[in-house]
Amino acid sequence: MSDVSVDRIAGAAPRLPLRGGTVGAFKLGRLIPWLVLVIALGTWWFTGDTPEDILTYQEDIVYLGGQHIVLVAYAGGLALVTGIPAGIILSRPVFRRAAELVLQVFNLGSTIPTLAIIALCMTVLGIGTMPAVFGLWMATLLPIVRNTYAGLRNVPKMLIEAAQGMGMTPRQIFWRVEFPNALFVIFGGIRTALSICVGTAPLAFLIGAGGLGELIFTGIALDELPMLLAGIIPTALLAVLTDFVVGLLQYWLVPKGINPLR
Amino acid sequence: MIRLENLTKVFGMPGSGITAVDRVSFDLPAGEICVLLGPSGCGKTTTMKMINRLIEPTSGKIFIDGKDVTHIDPIQLRRSIGYVIQQIGLFPNKTVADNICVVPDLLGWDRRKSRARAAELLEMVGLQPDLFMKRYPKELSGGQQQRVGVLRALAADPPVMLMDEPFGAIDPINREVIQDEFLRMQKTLRKTVIFVSHDLDEAVKMADKIAIFRAGRLEQFASPEHLLSNPATPFIDTFLGSDRSLKLLRLVQVADAMLTAAIVRPGDPVARARELMHNNGQPAIVMLNGEGRPSGIVAASRINGQESAGRGSTAEGRCREVAEPVRVTVPVKADLRSAVALMFTHDMPVIPCVDEDGKLQGVLTYRSIVKSLANSKIAA
């Protein structure tokens, strides 16, 4: 799972030509949960395990799935309420010089495997939900900050100049011009980030925060394929569902004039 | 209306910085278009941006309607001045209607009033409101975007407009159309306009006053006629180019340069035509039909040629027998430049000038054109 999420960070394409390139890269990233799902279903088909074998874990799936969702909701929510403001602040002219440096540090941070981050969190913060949420938050934060920053920086200068010349205050320029025009790219970051978050959350089991990782890692340890699949398939489904929901929000919330999807 | 007094802008440290605008002063009366003209980097855009305080002057003063702009809150000031930039800068996230209504919305106009205003403006430039109000900028052609860009500046009906190469990013044919459109609107709107351009032809066409800049200094501030006929410095002379008298042609109407036509009727003897040519020194005489429209040209070369060919006594012939057909006429409202172009392309030493009904009003000859150019020099 952690390999998958590293791939997806690479696919997030931070250097943004506003339209085509980004969309293409995100499409690639979006395929991955589907691929996992297809492979998992394929394995299931070939090994001849019946749905009943998997459904014996139904209670576990529901309980651990709930934990999984809670973990993702906390970490993702935290990443949203911190990442977007951070990206906005970095994109302000005052911080323009510091911004590149900060983003480089973020980039370096993203090369640390998520498993290592989770382990570090455990050594510092102990075990349980809180350190797991903290680790997931760190893994989720980067695409949101980066896309918010890049989206805002890529708003054409002439729009800001026109807005200034017509007498908008800096606040009005931000809310009426910059933010709406960056929204599509920001949403792209959120989509990637939340998919990563769902895909990384199984690692939380390793530091005692539960989640669908419990079925996956135990399944591996016991060489129990149905148990493994009972963890993998819901995880992949969750990732696909998250992406779908955020995609819908992106479709409807980004103004029509700048939404390549509409 | 707009008065600049020793306006100066130094970028960087005073003393060691780059002087972008150097002690520029001029006074533009209300309702006139002033084109700031000059090579790139000459300070024309900087000068314009100081007027709505996008750039703060280092020293000097700007008065709009007698009020010092530094005493007006920049946000309020900018909302009271129309602003058009070269790249148009329509907001892609807003519809055409919302784009046009940006300033009215900032000023807190009633929504119904502002949208009605947008519809009225769209109508003015021939864009159907019900078709275009709800469109997004990306769904418009370049020319349509440019028009909406100008309408957006006009929306709150500001008395003053700043336009930074507003028609620069558009093909020459559409540019002419939009320029004409703007001039037509300007006739009724009477805005006071500061218009930045590097295109001399555009300047001559649009301007009531041209301000020529060079390295931050104002070289000359004058009407286009005056500028073309009396360039103040050798730099301006070079900048205007060796064909500046041709540019001047554009500013003179045919009606002001044409001569009273001497005419013949189809039944008149050729001798009469020759006599008229001899008397007023014209190389050809226009032949009129019964309705007062030109029906032929009796050219001196033709009559003389026939005589030397020994075809007998053409002096006794009738004009209709020697007249050539009228290849082209020019409307009296056209400018001299198009008249000259017609004279060259159709090889006509005399061109009949007609009114809207096609009735003859006068004639243009090469000599009359030269004379009217000389006159406009004296007048300027």
- Kindly list the averaged pLDDT for each block of 10 residues, start to end, along chain B of length 380: 92 81 93 92 92 92 93 94 91 94 94 94 91 93 91 94 88 87 91 92 90 92 88 87 78 84 83 83 84 84 60 63 85 86 85 87 85 67
- Rounded (10°) angle between helices A58-91 and A213-222: 120
* C-beta neighbour count of A150 within 10 angstroms: 24
Q: Are residues B195 and B262 in the same domain?
A: no
Which of B78, B89, B94 is closest, CB to CB, to A167? B78
φ and ψ at B5, to 5 degrees?
-125, 110
A17 pLDDT above the threshold of 80: no
Give the integer Cα–Cα distance in Å for A84 and A89.
9
Contact, B299 vs B349, CB < 8 A? yes
d(CA A140, CA A73): 11
Q: Which amino acid is at A251?
A: Y
pLDDT at B128: 93
Question: In this structure, what token pair is assigned to residue A147?
Answer: 């896309």
For B89, which of A161, A257, A258 is closest by C-beta distance? A161
Q: Is B374 on the interface with A (CB under 8 A)?
A: no
CB-based contact, A176 to chain B, within 8 Å: yes
CA distance A56 to A189: 37
What pLDDT shows up at residue B378?
A: 54
Q: Does B136 touch chain A (CB under 8 A)?
A: yes
Is A5 within a domain? no
**Count of CB atoms within 10 A of residue A54's CB?**
21
Q: Is A168 on the interface with B (CB under 8 A)?
A: yes
Residue A167 in domain: yes
Q: Is residue B248 a part of any domain in this protein?
A: no
Give the pairing of strands B33-37 and B209-214: parallel
Is residue A1 included in any domain, yes or no? no
Q: Tell me the two tokens of residue B227.
A: 């500028």
- A198 found inside a domain: yes
Q: Average pLDDT for residues A196-220, to the nearest whole number?
A: 91
Contact B193, B1 (CB under 8 A): no
* Residue A177 is assigned to a structural domain of this protein: yes
Asked if residue A3 has pLDDT above 50, the reply is no
Q: Is B106 on the interface with A (CB under 8 A)?
A: yes
On whether any CB of chain B is under 8 Å from the CB of A175, the answer is no
Contact A167 B94 (CB under 8 A): no
> Two tokens at B221?
């501030």
* Structure token digits, residue B216: 């931050």
Cα A123 to chain centroid, rounded: 24
pLDDT score recorded for residue B221: 94
CB A142 within 8 A of CB A103: no
Chain B residue numbers touching A262 (CB-CB < 8 A): none
CB contacts of A180 in chain B (<8 Å) are 93
Taking CB atoms and an 8 Å cutoff, what residues of chain B touch A166? Answer: 78-79, 83, 102-103, 106, 152-153
Strands lying side by side in the sheet with B263-264: B263-264, B284-288, B294-299
pLDDT-derived band at A15 (thresholds 50, 70, 90) equals: very low
How many structural domains comprise chain A?
1
- Give dist(CA B292, CA B322) in Å, integer: 19
pTM (two decimals)? 0.76
Pick from B93, B122, B118: nearest CA to B103: B118
Q: Does residue B249 form part of some domain?
A: no
Q: Report whether pLDDT(A5) > 70.
A: no
Asked whether B359 and B290 are in contact (CB, 8 A), the reply is no
Chain B residues close to A168, C-beta within 8 Å: 75, 102, 106
Answer whether residue B367 is part of any domain.
yes
The token duo for B338 is 């198009």
Residue range(s) defining the domain that contains residue A104: 19-44+58-258
Burial pattern A19-43, b for ≥16 Cβ within 10 A else e, equals eeebeebbeebbebbeebbeebeee
| Beta-carbon separation of B79 and A176 below 8 A | no
Domain-embedded: residue B153: yes
Asked, for residue B141, whether it belongs to a domain, the answer is yes
Of B243, B272, B300, which closes a domain? Answer: B243
Residue B40's contacts (CB-CB under 8 Å, 6 or more residues apart) are B198
CB-based contact (8 Å) between B108 and chain A? Answer: no
Are residue B69 and residue B118 in the same domain, yes or no?
A: yes
Distance to chain B for A119, nearest Cα, Å:
44
Hey, are the CB atoms on A172 and B106 less than 8 Å from each other?
yes
Are the Cβ atoms of A257 and B92 closer than 8 angstroms? yes
Q: Does B52 touch chain A (CB under 8 A)?
A: yes
Q: How far is A31 from chain B (nearest CA, A)?
A: 29
- Do B6 and B99 fall within a single domain? yes
Domain boundary at B223, B243, B263, which? Answer: B243
Which 88-147 residues of chain A touch chain B by CB within 8 A? none
Tell if the CB–CB gap between B83 and A162 is shorter than 8 Å.
Answer: yes
A90: CB partners within 8 A, 6+ apart: A98, A99, A102, A103, A145, A149
Are B159 and B24 found together in one domain? yes
Residue of B nearest to A184 (CA): B93
> Based on the domain organization, do B171 and B102 belong to the same domain?
yes
Best mutation target, A166, A173, A178, A186, to test chain B (most B CBs within 10 A): A166
End-to-end CA distance of chain A: 33
- Residue A8 located in a structural domain: no
Domain of residue B272 covers 254-379
- Within 8 A by CB and 6+ apart from A161, the residues are B54, B85, B89
pLDDT at B170: 82
* CATH number of the domain residue B351 falls in: 3.10.580.10
Chain A residues touching residue B96 (CB < 8 angstroms): none
- Final residue of a domain: which of B198, B219, B243? B243
From the list A71, A68, A80, the residue with the least C-alpha distance to A237 is A68
Q: Is residue A3 part of a domain?
A: no
Of A164, A172, A255, the CB nearest to B54: A164
Q: What's the structural domain count of chain B?
A: 2
Q: Answer yes or no: do B87 and A181 touch at CB < 8 A.
A: no
Q: What is the SS3 string spanning chain B?
A: CEEEEEEEEEECCCCCCEEEEEEEEEEECCCCEEEEECCCCCCHHHHHHHHCCCCCCCEEEEEECCEEHHHCCHHHHHHCEEEECCCCCCCCCCCHHHHHCHHHHHCCCCHHHHHHHHHHHHHHCCCCHHHHCCCCHHHCCHHHHHHHHHHHHHCCCCCEEEEECCCCCCCHHHHHHHHHHHHHHHHHHCCEEEEEECCHHHHHHHCCEEEEEECCEEEEEECHHHHHHCCCCHHHHHHHCCCHHHHHHCCCEHHHHCECCCEECCCCEHHHHHHHHHHHCCCEEEEECCCCCEEEEEEHHHHHHHHHCCCCCHHHCEHHHHCECCCCCEECCCEHHHHHHHHHHCCCCEEEEECCCCCEEEEEEHHHHHHHHHHHHHHC
Verify that B218 and B70 share a domain, yes or no: yes
Give me the CATH number covering residue B21: 3.40.50.300
Please judge whether A159 and B91 are an interchain contact, meaning their C-beta atoms are less than 8 angstroms apart: yes
Instruction: Count residue pairs from A and B with Cβ separation < 8 A.
Output: 71
Cβ of A257 within 8 Å of Cβ of B94? The answer is: yes
Contact check, Cβ <8 Å, A181/B94: no
Instruction: Check which CATH number belongs to the domain holding A163 and give it.
Output: 1.10.3720.10
Query: Which residues of chain B make contact with A255, given a CB cutoff of 8 A?
Result: 93-94
The answer to whether B85 contacts A163, with C-beta atoms less than 8 Å apart, is no
Residue B229 lies in a domain: yes
A176 neighbourhood in chain B, CB within 8 Å: 91
Q: Are B89 and A159 an interchain contact pair (Cβ–Cβ within 8 Å)?
A: yes
In a domain, residue A200? The reply is yes
DSSP string computed for chain A: -HHHHHHHHHTT--S--TTHHHHHHHHHHHHHHHHHHHHHHHHHHHHT--HHHHHTTHHHHHHHHHHHHHHHHHHHHHHHHHHHHHHHHHHSGGGHHHHHHHHHHHHHHHHS-HHHHHHHHHHHH-SSHHHHHHHHHHHHHHHHHHHHHHHHHTS-HHHHHHHHHTT--HHHIIIIIIHHHHHHHHHHHHHHHHHHHHHHGGGGGGGT--STHHHHHHHHHHT-HHHHHHHHHHHHHHHHHHHHHHHHHHHHHS-GGG-TT-
For B284, phi then psi, to 5°, come to -160, 160
In B, minimum Cα distance to A179 occurs at B93
Beta-carbon separation of B93 and A181 below 8 A: yes
What is the structure's pLDDT at A30?
A: 66
| Whether B146 and B74 share a structural domain | yes
Do B150 and B183 belong together in one domain? yes
Query: Is residue B89 domain-resident?
Result: yes
Q: How many CB atoms lie within 10 A of CB A245?
A: 12
Closest Cα partner for A248 from A261, A235, A258? A261
Q: Is residue B268 part of a domain?
A: yes
**C-alpha span between A179 and A192 (Å, rounded):** 19
B window 149-178, beta carbon within 8 A of A: 152-153, 162
B262 and B120 share one domain: no
Tokens 């943004």 locate to A16
> Taking CA atoms, what residue in A is nearest to B79?
A167
Q: How many CB atoms lie within 10 A of CB B319?
A: 22
